Amino acid sequence: MSKETFRQLKKEAHRGDAQCQYLVGDAYYYGTDVKENYKSAVAWYLKAAEQGHADALYALGQCYVHGEGVRKDYVKAIELFVRAEKKGHADAAKAIDDCYNSNLSKRHKSVKEFRKQLKAAEKGNPKAMNAVGYAYINRQGVARDETKAFEWYSRAAEKGYLAAIYNLGDCYYYGHGVSQDFAKAAEWYSKAADKGHLDAQYYLGICYDVGRGVPKDHYKAAELYQKAAKKGKVEAQYNLGVSYARGEGVPEIHSKAVEWYTKAAKQGHSNAQFNLANCYYDGRGVKKNLAKAVEWYTKSAEQGNANAQYNLGNCYMNGEGVRKDQARANKWYEKASDQGLANAQNSLATSYYYGRGVKKDPVKAVELYLKAAKQGDQFAQCNLANCYSDGEGVTKDLVKAAEWYAKSAEQGNANAQNCLAFCYYKGEGVTKDFYKAAEWWRRAAEQGYAKAQYHLGNCYYAGEGVAKNFTMSADWYVKAAQQGHASAQYNLGNAYYFGEGMTKNAVKAVEWWTKSANQGDPMAQFNLANSYFNGDGVTKNYYTAAMWYEKSAKQGIDRAQYCLGLCYYYGEGASKDRAKAIVWLRKAAAQGHAKAKEFLAKIGSR
């Protein structure tokens, strides 16, 4: 071939002539009047092969066999040889056999099986038609072609082949080879389900459960799940368990939920194992058994269920159903965290923050808190705000702290609402605003958050951000005090003693001061000491008074130090001891207590 001939040939090839494209490919393949170039040969063979040129199909197949210009691929080669054989190429059949003989891997055997099924399908065998459709969908011996899969499923379904009827439903459900159409999917699933097809019953159940292609109907869904579940369909067993747990389509019977979860869990269904573990953990539908909960959490976690990994981590962290092991807890938190589970990231971060089972690392903690916070986890957002507020693991930034408190607070996190209120109250990271402070304390207080109830009580007492109102103040102190908040108990005692928002009652005052004093509140201890010293609301008792004065004095309350000094000086409730008296009086005087100074001057012991 002359160079001029090659030039004319290439010109016609560019115009789309298949024979010329094949010949140009040959020229590049053999290096005829042009530099040998396998990649260029393949490119031109491919153009001709796309037009069904038999010689080009065969030549391109050989390129795949030998790895010339393309990566070696026997499956692709066989596909091309099959097409060449259909076009009448004399050597294609032998080339196919050579491929089988040279590489008998599972993949290549599937090609041979596909050819066998295709021949049977073309002769009208419905089972083979379905098999060919399945092969096209799942790339078994042939390139994936959803359109051809749909065509073969349709032909088999028309002949009443049950599996194909179900598969046709799948095609409409997922949009394989046809426009997605849930109504059509439900129609074909229904036809297969009526004939007892297990998977069709399950998927039709899903359609009714979520109202996809059919009106939502939990009763029909549960009925279909039950049919498939009784035949051992694990997914149906799980879904039926969920139906019983929620009371959707069946009565809410947690013991029945446990029964079906157990069947699915024993077959290895991860979500069923997780739900069953939750039932044992909560004692819902079965007797509470933390060890059993751990057993099922472990099975689910080992399959990669992130929620199970997180819950299992909690069990190890708290010693529930298993020996407490913080290091192992963190390993499970980490597995769940790596899957992006926000609450696991938050828990692992907390471990790094406090050094629980891992080396303390606030920087790592902040990194994990941030990941969870960005996913919207309210607890991580609050914890991240704390880090910015305290400058732990990150540069202190009160503005960012307030921003993250706000994100968490908006989601209803009472702790964050309380902290955000403080930001507004003190003007830290935000403009000082008593009204906003009171509003955020109210939101947290209404959720039963004791600290916020106490601070809201203070707002009403002082008239900060709200109108001054002793009754409202006392009401919030009561709520916090009943939850054991020491400062609220002290303030409530004051409210009773002075009759501010409550009917004046010294006995009630002593009752609440005692609760607060026992928790270590120094002012409650001082007031309680006064009550015992004066017999106000309680039987007078100097010894008890001196005891409470001493507790308060040791916490630095100057008035208590002064009174304790007098007790020692006069021997009231304590053995008379001038030296001890002077020690306590001097402590009070050092804090500026005027009467202590006067008394020391009076006894000549400045």
* Model pLDDT, residue 139: 82
Radius of gyration of the chain (CA): 41
Q: What single letter denotes the amino acid at residue 360?
A: K
In the prediction, which pLDDT does 561 show? 98
| CA pair distance 253, 215, nearest whole angstrom | 25
Give the residue from 309, 315, 316, 317 showing the smallest Cα distance to 339: 309
Distance CA 440, CA 420 (A): 7
CA proximity to 544, closest of 554, 533, 534, 536: 533
At 162 the pLDDT is: 96
Residue with the two structure tokens 């949009």: 175
User: Which of these, 279, 285, 293, lies nearest to 251 by C-alpha position?
Assistant: 285
Strand, coil or helix: 580: helix
> Whose CA is closest to 30, among 74, 62, 65, 72?
62
Which pLDDT does position 114 carry in this prediction? 85
The distance of Cα 336 from the centroid of its chain, to the nearest Å, equals 8
pLDDT-derived band at 211 (thresholds 50, 70, 90) equals: very high
Phi, psi of 469 (to 5 degrees): -160, 105
Average pLDDT over residues 369-385: 98
Q: How many percent of the chain have pLDDT more than 70?
A: 98
The pLDDT value recorded for residue 6 is: 79
Summarize the confidence of residues 277-301 as an average pLDDT: 98
Pick the residue with more confidence: 108 or 46? 46
What's the mean pLDDT in 500-504? 97
| Element (DSSP H or E) covering residue 96 | helix 92-102
Percent of the chain with pLDDT over 90: 85
State CA 580 to chain mean position distance.
62
| 4 pLDDT tier (thresholds 50, 70, 90) | confident
What is the average per-residue pLDDT within 430-458?
Answer: 98
For 311, residues 6+ apart whose C-beta sits below 8 A from its C-beta are 274, 277, 278, 281, 297
pLDDT for 139-187, tens place per residue? 887 888 999 999 999 999 999 999 999 999 999 999 999 999 999 999 9
pLDDT value, residue 105: 47
Q: What tens digit of pLDDT does each residue of 572-582 get? A: 999 999 999 99
pLDDT tens-digit readout, 60-110: 999 998 899 999 888 888 889 899 998 898 888 888 878 776 654 445 567
Q: Is 513 in contact with 527 (CB distance < 8 Å)?
A: yes
Q: What is the pLDDT confidence band of residue 5, given thresholds at 50, 70 and 90?
A: confident
Confidence grade of residue 53 (pLDDT, cut at 50, 70, 90): very high
Axis crossing angle, helix 92-102 with helix 106-122, rounded to the nearest 10: 140
Name the average pLDDT for the chain: 94
CA distance 541 to 562: 18
Residue 606 pLDDT level (bands cut at 50, 70, 90): low
User: In terms of residues, how long is the chain?
Assistant: 606
DSSP state letters, 11-66: HHHHTT-HHHHHHHHHHHHHTSSS---HHHHHHHHHHHHTTT-HHHHHHHHHHHHH
pLDDT tens per residue, range 525-544: 999 999 999 999 999 999 99
DSSP annotation of 251? -
Q: Which helix (H) or strand (E) holds 185?
A: helix 182-194
CA distance 149 to 131: 9
Q: For 301-323, what is the mean pLDDT? A: 97
Residue 36: is its pLDDT beyond 90? no
Q: What is the pLDDT of residues 511-528, one digit of tens each?
A: 999 999 999 999 999 999
Q: Does the pLDDT value for residue 564 go beyond 70?
A: yes
Query: What pLDDT shows up at residue 108?
Result: 55
Question: What number of other Cβ atoms are within 10 A of residue 508's Cβ?
Answer: 17
